[in-house]
Amino acid sequence: MSVDHPQGKVKQHCVTSDAFLGGKLNVCQPEKGFRAGVDSVLLGAAVDDATKKLLDLGAGVGVAAMTALTYCPDVTALLAEFDPEIVGIGRQNIRSNGFEARANYCQIDIMSPGPEREASGMVQDHFDTVIANPPYFDEKTVSLPNDNYGKRAHAHAIDCLERWVKAAVSCARAGGEVIFIHRAAELQKLMKYYDRRLGNITILPIVSRPEQQASRVLVRGYKGSKAPCKLLSPLSLHGVEGREFTPQLQAILMGKDKLHW
């Protein structure tokens, strides 16, 4: 889904230029460590068409938010990211893809106290949609990349996931949606934090192939809703055989259709 071209160095990060959404987006990102891919595109493609104000927590180089900006022409986005070098790359991506009038970065650790988040633009009860691709792993259970950005993008402290959910819900307006993509193995924990604060929760399992166990889940909830939870049929990335993406996923990755769920 992307083609790499060495672009030299942006401070300490050697970056590549990658094509997303069938070339609609051209994105610079670090050559090593955490790299945006299918998960980021699915997260951005999951945003509701009616969204006007979007917040992307841990936005990285901006692929998820820019996917939403591409699919939803009325969206404006705030991208929250802690790493100053990644923020610099992300701002370059916003400019080069023509989203300067609709998107902006704030450099902030979302674990910061509420007043600091508010001052950065993460206003409480404000956003129609909040999306997040939080760190997937416990920092004590995995080998981490050498760079600080890669470490924090891959792994988290024990209470990190709950704090991400709290921050997301605090920024969502009443009736707004909160969408996370995460490891399926962490679904029980994520649902515990969602269920305390959100309703009308929808779970979309993501499988590599039909009849395999889910590796990822997209989870959406609505602030203030009391509606029951829904478990959808799995989204398959590939067919039973071969490496080709399914027609549904191919349409999303090529920028021809968003995720309908």
* pLDDT tens digits, one per residue of 93-144: 999 999 999 999 999 999 999 999 999 999 999 999 999 999 986 645 445 4
3-state DSSP assignment of residue 161? helix
Comparing C-alpha atoms, which of 227, 118, 127 is closest to residue 174? Answer: 127
Comparing C-alpha atoms, which of 77, 2, 86 is closest to residue 41? Answer: 2
| 233 within some domain | yes
| 259 within some domain | no
Distance CA 146, CA 161 (A): 22
Lowest mean pLDDT among 40-44, 159-163, 216-220: 159-163
pTM, 2 dp: 0.88
| 221 within some domain | yes
Domain interval for residue 119: 35-253
| 29 within some domain | no
| 81 within some domain | yes
Q: What is the pLDDT of residues 68-106, one digit of tens each?
A: 999 999 999 999 999 999 999 999 999 999 999 999 999
Q: What percent of the chain has pLDDT over 90?
A: 84
Residue 4's pLDDT band, with cuts at 50, 70 and 90, is very low
| 74 within some domain | yes
The gap from C-alpha 108 to its chain's centroid, in whole angstroms, comes to 16
Strand 76-81 and strand 103-107: the pairing is parallel
Q: What is the pLDDT of residues 140-156, one digit of tens each?
A: 544 544 545 444 444 44
Residue 13 or residue 157, greater confidence: 13
Distance CA 62, CA 223 (A): 25
| 4 within some domain | no
Task: Report the chain's mean pLDDT, rounded to a whole number.
Answer: 90
- Predicted confidence (pLDDT) at residue 222 exceeds the cutoff of 70: yes
**pLDDT of res. 136:** 81
Residue 205's pLDDT band, with cuts at 50, 70 and 90, is very high
Distance CA 47, CA 239 (A): 25
**Per-residue CA distances from 146 to 12, 35, 95, 150, 170 (Å):** 12, 14, 29, 7, 33
**pLDDT of res. 11:** 47
| 18 within some domain | no
Structure tokens at 2: 């992307």
Residue 2's pLDDT band, with cuts at 50, 70 and 90, is very low
Work out the average pLDDT over 220-244. Answer: 97
Structure tokens at 113: 């106290």
At 145, which CATH number?
Answer: 3.40.50.150
- Predicted confidence (pLDDT) at residue 51 exceeds the cutoff of 80: yes
**Identity of the amino acid at 109:** D
The domain total for the chain is: 1
Q: Which residues contact 3 (CB under 8 A, 6 or more apart)?
A: 18, 19
Exposure b/e, 176-209, CB count within 10 A at least 16 = b: bbbbbbbebebbeebbebbeebbebbbbbbbbee
> Cβ-count burial of 58 within 10 angstroms (0-12 exposed, 13-18 middle, 19+ buried)?
buried
Residue 9's pLDDT band, with cuts at 50, 70 and 90, is very low
